[in-house]
Amino acid sequence: MHEKFIGHRIRILNNLIKREIESSEHFAYAQSITGTNSWIIAYLAQNSDKDIYQKDLEKKFSVTRSTASKVIKLMVQKGLIVREEVESDARLKKLILTEKALNMHEAIKSDILKLNEKLTKGFTDEEMGTMQGYIDRMIDNINS
């Protein structure tokens, strides 16, 4: 019989993913950053050709404004990102990775790829597409 409380299973998977990330080869060496910081660094690195702002992180990672603000503040203190004013609007601040963060990104990129391979081992492309669709629908259900 399938458990009807899918949220509990997702929470277990989330905890396992977090544990896996935090015990991976390069995360151990990069003790100054959290798993969340690494996902933000990866997002900023992958979108380095675009201007990314706090509101973009809020949307991408489904976090509140106060949570995003706290994370950004800590990342600035750790020397991972800088906030750069935008000429057209002094209130807006682009988020830019520092050299330190870029080096970390390259080091942990392989760990993220290994985790993804581990998570998706044994799944066909069709199954992955179906699962992505289910997950997207659950996210949409929560957000609506």
Task: Give the Cα separation of 18 and 103 in Å (integer).
Answer: 22
Confidence of residue 117 (pLDDT cuts 50, 70, 90): very high
- Write down the mean pLDDT value for the chain: 90
Residue 32's pLDDT is: 64
Tokens of 69: 């603000």
Higher pLDDT, 28 or 26: 26
Per-residue pLDDT tens digits for 31-59: 667 778 888 998 999 999 999 999 999 99
Residue (of 33, 47, 22) closest to 112 by Cα position: 22
Query: Beta strands 89-97 and 81-86: pairing type?
Result: antiparallel
The class that CATH gives domain 36-97 is mainly alpha
Average confidence (pLDDT) over 90-104: 92
Angle of helix 35-46 relative to helix 65-77, nearest 10 degrees?
90
Task: Determine the average pLDDT of the residues in 68-92.
Answer: 92
| Lowest-confidence pick of 36-45, 71-80, 134-143 | 36-45
Max CA-CA distance within the chain? 59
The H or E element spanning position 12 is helix 6-22
Torsion of CA 11, 12, 14, 19, to 10 degrees: 140
Helix axes 6-22, 99-120, angle to 10 degrees: 130
The Cα 95–Cα 127 span in angstroms is: 36
- Residue extent(s) of CATH 1.10.10.10 domains in the chain: 36-97
> Cα separation of 69 and 78, whole Å?
14
Identify the band that residue 96 occupies on the pLDDT scale cut at 50, 70 and 90: very high
Specify the pLDDT at position 58.
95
The tokens for 137 are 């629908």
Distance (Å, whole) CA 12 – CA 132 = 18
Read off the pTM: 0.59
